[in-house]
Amino acid sequence: DSGVTQTPKHLITATGQRVTLRCSPRSGDLSVYWYQQSLDQGLQFLIQYYNGEERAKGNILERFSAQQFPDLHSELNLSSLELGDSALYFCASSPSLGGNTYEQYFGPGTRLTVT
Amino acid sequence: AQKVTQAQTEISVVEKEDVTLDCVYETRDTTYYLFWYKQPPSGELVFLIRRNSFDEQNEISGRYSWNFQKSTSSFNFTITASQVVDSAVYFCALSGWVSQGAQKLVFGQGTRLTINP
């Protein structure tokens, strides 16, 4: 158990809908990352937050957004869903932005199926 | 830009065989970190090891060992006396600097390892 929690574990929804994925980082970790894992794209970095502020963006679509709250949990919002958004979405946390303590610990993931 | 290549898409061996997973990376950073993660059939990503770019010492942890060679930009992972429970997808990853001193991970495409009894 990495200490990172994600809810829900599975999500099935229809095209055009909006969903919210939730992540709680490990105790003490300030940095949260979101990744998408799909068969054709592999593991893709989406976005990073550190102590409530957005710090880096990867291959995140405009239909997707995220935020990190004062209690450090994070939410990833996916809207106008398309079939191609079906994937496993991971949240990871890290105690720092970089340096010798830089490691990312991953949650169990949320499997999103868009029908 | 950073890139990680895991040329072996799938490997299948018989239990107790030794197996090496290859990882080759590209980066212009002078300081970076390399990682290996395991993704068992249950789906979670399990952190295995982090290696600092300044530390080229090989590391051994039980049946697992890692060989980091900066000269060839490789960070290979060997499982000795493989077991069925080692069956998983293994990802090699490289840290990449982004703005304001923050790092992100760049993953390879993964190697699916199947250990047959």
pLDDT at B64 over 90: yes
* Chain A residues in contact with B55 (beta carbon < 8 A): none
A41 CB within 8 Å of a chain B CB: no
- Min mean pLDDT across A99-103, B25-29, B45-49 is at A99-103
A95 CB within 8 Å of a chain B CB: no
Question: What number of CA atoms fall less than 13 Å from residue A73's CA on the CB side?
Answer: 11
From CA B81, how far away is CA B86, in angstroms rounded?
10
* Chain A residues in contact with B45 (beta carbon < 8 A): 90, 92, 106, 109
> Which pair of tokens denotes residue A23?
């992540």
Q: What is the pLDDT of residue B60?
A: 87
Query: What is the average per-residue pLDDT within A65-78?
Result: 97
Q: Measured between CB atoms, which of B44, B98, B101 is closest to A106?
A: B44
Q: What is the pLDDT of residue A58?
A: 87
Distance (Å) from the C-alpha of residue A111 to the closest C-alpha of chain B?
A: 10
pLDDT at A100 over 80: no
User: In the structure, what pLDDT confidence band is assigned to residue A98 with cuts at 50, 70 and 90?
Assistant: low
pLDDT at A41 over 70: yes
- Specify burial of residue A55 (Cβ count, 10 A radius: 0-12, 13-18, 19+): buried
User: In the structure, what pLDDT confidence band is assigned to residue A101 with cuts at 50, 70 and 90?
Assistant: low
Those residues with Cβ within 8 angstroms of residue A85's Cβ, 6 or more apart along the chain or in another chain: A78, A112, A114
Residue A48 identity: Q
From CA B74, how far away is CA B67, in angstroms rounded?
8
B56 CB within 8 Å of a chain A CB: no
DSSP per residue over B60-107, as a string? EETTEEEEEEGGGTEEEEEESS--GGG-EEEEEEEEEE-GGG-EEEEE
Q: What is the pLDDT of residue B100?
A: 65
Check if the beta carbon of residue B35 is closer than 8 Å to that of residue B47. Answer: yes
Distance (Å) from the C-alpha of residue A2 to the closest C-alpha of chain B?
A: 8
Q: What is the pLDDT of residue B30?
A: 85
- Number of A–B residue contacts, CB under 8 Å: 66
In our burial notation (b when 16+ CB lie closer than 10 A, e otherwise), range B19-55 reads bebbbbbebeeeebbbbbbbbeeeebbebbbbbbbee
pLDDT, tens only, B92-116:
999 877 666 677 889 999 999 999 9
Q: What is the pLDDT of residue B99?
A: 65
Average pLDDT, chain B: 92
Q: What is the pLDDT of residue A37?
A: 95
A30 CB within 8 Å of a chain B CB: no
Query: What is the average per-residue pLDDT within B8-27?
Result: 97
Query: Would you tell me how many other CB atoms lie within 10 Å of the CB of residue B11?
Result: 16
pLDDT at B89 over 80: yes
